[in-house]
């Protein structure tokens, strides 16, 4: 039976083979030694559109999806409201069926949108320049560490122990090729060895509370190290951006800005830095220029940093990134704009504090940290978080992240604008009854 994606008929194929001078497709594989050709492939039999849609609908129903459950889980991936506009723009196939804009004259849509993206994320982080994006927040942090080593010509990295442990693991993987040690800096001890290329800090940190960014910036700069901040982009709707503290590189997971969680991928690694480091930055960059008629237009620029030109001397091996996610982020930021993003941040802030306050008042529950926080907080519980989450799940609630492996009987809750007062009250009530 013909396949809908393959437009050639048998007659077309025969005509083409005749032109080529062969009698079958098989003859075109003559360079493959015979013993390697036409081996057995054991795959399930093909299914029609109708059958496979139904099968995958059933498979997807075996996942507890957050549209049906109330979610208090964050820890790096956040459920925020996504205005319909975002999907309608990214759903335009002129955007999503194009590739990397190598041919600028027929790619101005992608290029100009990327220029908008770079501008918007710089405005948000308070930094001077941005690239077109990395794979996710963790790889952006890891590439930032490598970039700091290039800039300072030092071969050691320091990271606060309060950064997301998953990010820490990815940084470890990325620096392992060069045997770069990663020093763990405990929060009560602001010291780290003076030969480090950078200090990596998360703001607000993995546990949800704000670090003394000013003190850490000073400390890093005093030793000649760069300050790398992993930011929460939604928090930047109301909190002072890292750029204002003097950060050198600011990275972030961009998923929260208009993208579904999607089981953790695709995400988007936001990567911004100070202008003086531009030429050592990884990833694609779009610049504005003019055409032969002096009309404004956009191109991929400073490609001499990149692998396809510089090969083993490139600033990174990154090629394909997360362009469509960056487009969604661009549309999200433009849709909410100045007042909308602030409002989202404030809704998160007030609701999270309402929740923390209410949970903290329940017998046996207490907040582990007293520092100011944004939308996530750690609660010490009277029973094992695992048990709590099982009970919550029965009530169609996805509870917080079990942190028992780090802090006894504690869990990290996240509250966003999607959690209603009713959701929060229900959570508190169930917790109190345990």
Q: Measured from the CB of residue 432, what is the shortest distance to other proteins in angstroms?
A: 17
CA distance 236 to 203: 10
What's the rounded Cα separation, in Å, for the pair 348 and 31? 61
Footprint on residues 270-329 left by other proteins (CB under 8 A): 278, 284-293, 295-299, 301-304, 306-314, 316-325, 327
Single out the segment in contact with other proteins by CB under 8 A; choices: 151-159, 187-195, 257-265, 375-383.
257-265
Site string for other proteins, 5-24 (x = CB under 8 A): xxxx---xx-xxx-xxxx--
200: Cβ–Cβ under 8 A, 6 or more apart, which residues? 141, 144, 145, 157, 158, 159, 160, 163, 171, 228, 230
d(CA 157, CA 384): 35
236 binds other proteins (CB under 8 A): yes
Question: Taking a C-beta distance cutoff of 8 angstroms, is the pair 378, 50 a contact?
Answer: no
| Single residue of 10, 94, 153, 222 touching other proteins by CB under 8 A | 94
Q: CB–CB of 299/111 below 8 Å?
A: yes
Residue with tokens 């930047």: 236
Instruction: Candidates 152, 164, 205, 217: give the one binding other proteins (CB under 8 A).
Output: 164
* Beta bridge partners of residue 296, listed in sequence order: 290
Task: Kindly state the tokens that stand for 191.
Answer: 């010291």
Among 206, 207, 239, 413, binds other proteins (CB under 8 A): 239
Stretch that binds other proteins, among 188-196, 217-225, 376-384, 414-422 (CB under 8 A): 414-422
**Within 124-153, which residues bind other proteins (CB under 8 A)?**
124, 129-130, 132-133, 135-139, 146
Scanning residues 198 to 227, which ones bind other proteins (CB under 8 A)?
A: 210
Binding positions for other proteins, 346-375, rule CB under 8 A: 346-347, 349-351, 353-354, 357, 372
- DSSP, collapsed to helix, strand or coil, labels residue 407 as coil
Contact call for residue 395 and other proteins (CB under 8 A) = no
Interatomic CA distance for residues 318 and 308, integer angstroms? 10
Stretch that binds other proteins, among 67-75, 191-199, 215-223, 375-383 (CB under 8 A): 67-75
223/432 with CB nearer other proteins? 432
CB of 173 vs other proteins, minimal distance in Å? 4
Q: Is 81 a residue that touches other proteins (CB under 8 A)?
A: yes
Choose among 27, 119, 90, 86: nearest CA to 324: 90
Strand, helix or coil for residue 392: helix
In the complex with other proteins, which residue's Cβ is closer, 10 or 222? Answer: 10
**Which residue's CB is nearer to other proteins, number 183 or number 291?**
291
Work out whether 231 is an interface residue with other proteins (CB under 8 A): no
Q: Which residue has the tokens 């003086």?
A: 276
- Least Å distance between CB 22 and other proteins? 8
Other Cβ atoms closer than 10 A to 344: 21
Residue 270 β-bridge partners:
252
Looking up tokens 């546990």, which residue turns up? Answer: 207
Considering only 94-102, 149-157, 189-197, 221-229, which stretch makes contact with other proteins by CB under 8 A?
94-102
CB of 222 to other proteins, least distance (A): 21
Q: How far apart are CA 72 and CA 92, in angstroms?
A: 32
User: Can you tell me which residue has the tokens 């122990």?
Assistant: 161
Output the smallest distance, CB 300 to other proteins, in A.
Answer: 8
């Amino acid at each position: 039976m013909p396949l809908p994606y393959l437009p050639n008929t048998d007659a077309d194929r025969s005509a083409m083979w005749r032109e080529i001078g062969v009698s079958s497709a098989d003859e075109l594989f003559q360079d493959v030694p015979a013993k390697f050709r036409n081996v057995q492939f054991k795959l399930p039999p093909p299914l029609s559109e109708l059958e496979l849609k139904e099968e995958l609908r059933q498979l997807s129903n075996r996942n507890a999806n957050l549209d049906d459950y109330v979610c208090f889980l964050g820890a790096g991936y956040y459920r925020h409201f996504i205005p319909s506009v975002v999907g309608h723009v990214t759903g335009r196939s002129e955007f999503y069926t194009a590739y990397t804009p190598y041919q600028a004259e027929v790619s101005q849509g992608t290029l100009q949108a990327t220029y908008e993206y770079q501008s918007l994320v710089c405005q948000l982080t308070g930094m001077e320049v941005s690239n077109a994006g990395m794979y996710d927040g963790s790889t952006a942090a890891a590439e930032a560490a490598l970039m700091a080593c290039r800039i300072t010509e030092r071969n050691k990295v320091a990271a606060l122990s309060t950064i997301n442990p998953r990010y820490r693991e990815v940084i470890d993987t990325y620096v392992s090729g060069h045997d770069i040690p990663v020093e763990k800096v405990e929060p009560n001890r602001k010291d780290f060895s003076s030969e480090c290329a950078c200090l990596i800090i998360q703001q607000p940190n993995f546990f949800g509370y704000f670090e003394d960014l000013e003190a850490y910036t000073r400390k890093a700069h005093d030793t000649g190290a760069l300050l790398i901040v992993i930011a929460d982009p939604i928090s930047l709707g109301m909190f002072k951006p890292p750029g204002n503290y003097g950060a050198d590189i600011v990275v972030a997971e961009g998923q929260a800005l208009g993208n579904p969680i999607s089981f953790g991928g695709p995400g988007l690694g936001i990567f911004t830095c100070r202008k003086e480091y531009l030429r050592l930055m990884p990833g694609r960059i779009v610049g504005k220029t003019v055409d032969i008629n002096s009309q404004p237009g956009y191109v991929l620029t400073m490609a001499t940093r990149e692998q396809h030109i510089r090969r083993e001397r490139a600033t990174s091996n990154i090629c394909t990134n997360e362009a469509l996610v960056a487009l969604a982020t661009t549309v999200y930021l433009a849709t909410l704009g100045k007042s909308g993003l602030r409002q989202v941040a404030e809704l998160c802030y007030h609701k999270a504090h309402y929740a923390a306050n209410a949970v903290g008042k329940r017998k046996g529950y207490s907040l582990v940290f007293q520092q100011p926080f944004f939308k996530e907080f750690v609660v010490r519980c009277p029973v094992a978080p695992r048990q709590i989450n099982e009970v919550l799940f029965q009530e169609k609630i996805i509870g917080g992240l079990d942190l028992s492996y780090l802090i006894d009987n504690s869990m990290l809750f996240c509250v966003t604008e999607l959690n209603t007062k009713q959701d929060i009250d229900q959570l508190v009530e169930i917790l109190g009854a345990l």
